[in-house]
Amino acid sequence: MEIQTSIHHQIEKLYGQNIAPEAIQLQKTKKEFEGHLTLVVFPLLKISHKNPEQTAQEIGAHLQNQIPEITSFNVIKGFLNLTLSANYWIRLLNDVHTTEHFGIRPVAENAPLVMIEYSSPNTNKPLHLGHIRNNLLGYSLAEIMKANGFKVVKTNIVNDRGIHICKSMLAWQRWGNGETPASSGKKGDHLIGDYYVRFDQEYKKELNDLKAKGLSQEEAEQQSTLMADAREMLRRWEAGDEATVALWRTMNDWVYAGFDETYKRMGVDFDKIYYESQTYLTGKEKVLEGLQKGIFYRKDDGSVWANLTADGLDEKLLLRADGTSVYMTQDIGTASLRFADYPIDRMIYVVGNEQNYHFQVLSLLLDKLGFEFGKDLVHFSYGMVELPEGKMKSREGTVVDADDLIDEMVQTAADMSKELGKLNDCTPEEAQDIARMVGLGALKYFILKVDPKKNMVFNPKESIDFNGNTGPFVQYTYARIQSVLRKASATSAALLPATPLSDKETALIQALAEFPTAVKEAADGFSPALIANYVYDLAKEYNQFYHDFPILKESNEDVRNLRLILSRNVGKVLYTGLSLLGIEAPEKM
RNA sequence: GCCCCUGUAGUUCAAUGGAUAGAACGGAAGUUUCCUAAACUUUAAAUCCGAGUUCGAUUCUCGGCGGGGGUACCA
């Protein structure tokens, strides 16, 4: 029986009544006090009818008497600190040791299916730092859900149609001189992104020229031929004009090739990709169905709307006056197709918090349309990534490009290990691979350790820091453990002798045993950050232990054996924890 | 205006309503006969303001003040 359960049981026995689980507050004893587990007795005062110290005393005495694993106790104010036997810790370590995938729950045949949408790029510009946070959170959340026994389908919705796509197409047609990724040596997504920027520049120029002739901003926008041409292109695309569709296909393919490269480097992937060009028509259909059923209404100009004022929200446009679809229409179509394709029990959208309102509306609309999953959808909303100078602005060129950033991180990792002489005994290929793992590990950890819902500041200079609360620190700890294990492996694999344990050793075992709880809480709270901080704490704990207790020099066979087994299991948990974050763990570094 | 998120050391981040609010970076001072010093040790430094609920509030409630986002034909 779990020790927590025994304690609960014994307290009920002591007072002769059932006690709610919330009243039994057990926590890890703080470092500065003696003991391993602490019972907070305040909630029990109503039952004991005694003051905190007396209550703690009598519970402590009773527990020590009845539970063999509890060897002693002390009371400080309303806190009962319990000390557990070495035997108990060794048994716990043994459990960790003999459980192959410790902390991971297997996926059952009939497990609920979770679909996670993340990434969701537009095909008119390359991925940037904001996408990196999205992709890392989505991928990590998928891994965490899997580890908690859910079936997971990772999905991506590519926004491959719309006026913004036409802008880059138009700019390329007009000023591109037939430039291709092959002819220019640029990645496809970057090439297209350049033409999107070009459109914006030319458009601004045109507006300024018009305004110089005395037109207002609004009049200029209306008279812009460039924008009119882009709209005309969108109309031709929707009408299925061959040349337009062919151009669209060619340019999108360039972008996809570019994205695939970036995804691969980031180490993220998808089980199923949806394209808005293939879902927006379904969206339109659903909206028109809703219109017929009287759920939506049409205004005089022909546009279609939903009235959500009864639900405390506003009115929402679903189809424009000219009959074309908007973002919301597409999302309805995509959801509809997804639920037709998969038996989804839970739908999670990993999308930035600037769209909180959008998902509130989407949830309501789907529900009104008769999709019962609508009201249960989860918007995993995360905060923006800002730079020390402030918000990223594409127009001001302050956007941090994903590819550039990854290159920079890997290069810095390579430079630093070279400087420290870390990888002198590696082949150049090995050294490069380790630099890749470490550079990416630094980036991923830096972003994932932050509570997702908070905005965060990303300082490119400071992120390339391999000290402190960072991915490389955890990776380093893992690599060091592997190194120790290569030098000497434990003689006996399973049963451990009743060896006396130091405080640091019990602390480490206790930390190991908390891993499954961290995995579960990370899934419940949608928080990879919990895993990140857990893994860091464990690594830190190990480093301190490692420093104070030589392993290979230890002459007592049993003690040495214990420390090796302990090290191996810390390594095992670090490895698993890192993989839940999508971070690789090098065998040496 | 209305709605949502947010406010913790100089900085970037932690803290199921629990003990003296933790780390890291940066600052100051140290530690290599040792298995990896990308490490370890010591040290100074913080809960936006005001009420309320509670044995106990960084955490929950209300009111201010500050920051971010959204708000009907962009995605």
3-state SS, residue A518 = helix
Nearest by Cα to A177 from A206, A162, A198: A198
The nucleotide closest to A539 (CA, C1' atoms): B39
Protein CA at A383 to nucleotide C1' at B16, angstroms: 23
Task: Provide the phi-psi class of A83: left if phi over 0, else alpha when psi is between -120 and 50, else beta.
Answer: beta
Q: Which residue is nearest to nucleotide B19 (CA to C1')?
A: A79
CA distance A214 to A220: 9
Q: In this structure, are residues A58 and A11 in contact, taking their beta carbons and an 8 Å threshold?
A: no
- pLDDT at residue A376, as a whole number: 87
d(CA A238, CA A232): 10
Alpha carbons A280 and A276: distance in angstroms, whole number: 6
Q: Which residue is nearest to nucleotide B6 (CA to C1')?
A: A454
Distance CA(A532)–CA(A539), nearest Å, equals: 11
Is residue A342 predicted with pLDDT exceeding 90? yes
User: For A92-96, what is the mean pLDDT?
Assistant: 92
pLDDT tens profile A496-541? 666 778 888 999 999 999 999 999 999 999 999 999 999 999 999 9
The residues pairing with A272 across neighbouring beta strands, listed in sequence order, are A155
Interatomic separation, CA of residue A585 and C1' of nucleotide B38, rounded (Å) = 14
- H-only helix segments in A514-556: 515-524, 528-548
Q: How far is CA A254 from the centre of its chain?
A: 28
Residue A541's nearest nucleotide, by CA–C1', is: B40
What's the CA A32/C1' B21 distance, rounded, in angstroms?
Answer: 15
Report the phi/psi class of residue A294: left, alpha or beta, with left for phi > 0 and alpha for psi in -120 to 50. Answer: left
Residue A32 pLDDT exceeds 90: no
Residue A145 sits at the vertex; the CA angle it makes with A26 and A27, to the nearest 5 degrees, is 10
Q: Which residues contact A425 (CB under 8 A, 6 or more apart)?
A: none
A435 nearest nucleotide via C1' and CA:
B38
pLDDT digits (tens, 9 = 90+) for A244-303: 999 999 999 999 999 999 999 999 999 999 999 999 999 999 999 999 998 999 998 899
- Residues contacting A235, CB < 8 A, separation 6+: none
pLDDT at residue A561, rounded to an integer = 87
Q: How far is the CA of A343 from the C1' of B58 (A)?
A: 43
Name the 3-class secondary structure at A395: coil
| Distance separating alpha carbons of residues A536 and A532, to the nearest angstrom | 6
- Which residue in this structure is represented by tokens 């909303």? A381
What's the CA A456/C1' B37 distance, rounded, in angstroms?
A: 31
Q: What pLDDT is recorded for position A375?
A: 84
Determine the nucleotide nearest to A353 by Cα–C1' distance.
B69
User: Residue A221: its pLDDT value, please?
Assistant: 84
Of A423, A558, A516, A469, the closest CA to residue A96 belongs to: A516
Distance of C1' in B73 from CA in A485, Å:
64
Phi and psi torsions of A19, nearest 5°:
-125, 130
Closest nucleotide to residue A30 (Cα to C1')?
Answer: B19
Question: Do A317 and A302 contact (CB within 8 A), yes or no?
Answer: no
- Residue A588 to residue A565: CA distance in whole angstroms: 19
Please tell me the distance from the alpha carbon of residue A39 to that of residue A165, in angstroms, as a whole number: 61
pLDDT value, residue A163: 87
In the three-class reduction of DSSP (H, G, I as helix; E, B as strand; rest coil), residue A83 is classed as strand
Domain boundaries, chain A: 3-84, 162-255, 412-580
- A32: which 2 tokens? 């500065």
Nucleotide nearest to A462 in CA–C1' terms: B25
Protein-covered nucleotides of chain B (CB closer than 7 Å) are 3-7, 11-16, 18-20, 23-26, 34-41, 55-56, 67-75
CA–C1' nearest nucleotide, residue A312:
B3
Q: Find the mean pLDDT for residues A157-162.
A: 92
Q: What is A412-580's CATH superfamily?
A: Isoleucyl-tRNA Synthetase; Domain 1 (1.10.730.10)
SS3 A367: helix
Tokens read off for A371 = 């999709």
Nearest to A50, CA basis, from A25, A2, A15: A15
Distance A23 CA to B52 C1' (A): 25
Helix, strand, coil % over all residues of chain A, rounded to 5: 60, 15, 30
Integer Cα distance of A526 and A539 in angstroms: 23
Closest residue to B39 (CA to C1') is A543
Q: Nearest residue to B20, CA vs C1'?
A: A32
Distance, CA of A438 to CA of A472 (rounded, Å): 6
pLDDT value, residue A247: 95
Residue A494: its pLDDT value, please?
56
Q: Does residue A233 carry a pLDDT above 90?
A: yes
From the CA of A4, how many Å to the C1' of B23? 28
Least confident of A119-123, A402-406, A503-507, A581-585: A503-507
Rounded distance in angstroms from the CA atom of residue A149 to the C1' atom of nucleotide B74? 39
Report the C-alpha gap between A203 and A94 in whole angstroms.
Answer: 68
The answer, yes or no, to whether residue A491 has pLDDT greater than 80, is no
Q: Which nt has its C1' nearest the CA of A307? A: B72
Alpha helix (H) residue ranges in A395-470: 402-419, 428-448, 460-463
| Percent of the residues in chain A that have a pLDDT greater than 70, as a whole number | 98
β-pair type (A151-158, A113-117): parallel
Determine the number of helices (DSSP H) and then strands (DSSP E) in chain A.
22, 14
pTM: 0.94
> Would you state the pLDDT for residue A445?
96
* CA distance linking residue A234 with residue A239, whole number of Å: 9
Q: Which tens digit of pLDDT belongs to each residue from A374-413?
A: 888 999 999 999 888 777 776 666 788 999 999 999 999 9
CATH class of A3-84: alpha beta
Distance A451 CA to B14 C1' (A): 10
Q: Is A372 exposed, middle or buried (0-12, 13-18, 19+ CB in 10 A)?
A: exposed
Q: Residue A503: what pLDDT? A: 86
Q: Please tell me the predicted confidence (pLDDT) of residue A492.
A: 54
Q: Which nucleotide is nearest to A314 (CA to C1')?
A: B72
Strand A37-40, strand A25-28: pairing? antiparallel
Helix (H), strand (E), coil (C) string for A298-346: ECCCCCEEEECHHHCCCEEEEECCCCCECHHHHHHHHHHHHHHHCCCCE
Task: Tell me the CA–C1' distance in angstroms for A314 and B1.
Answer: 14
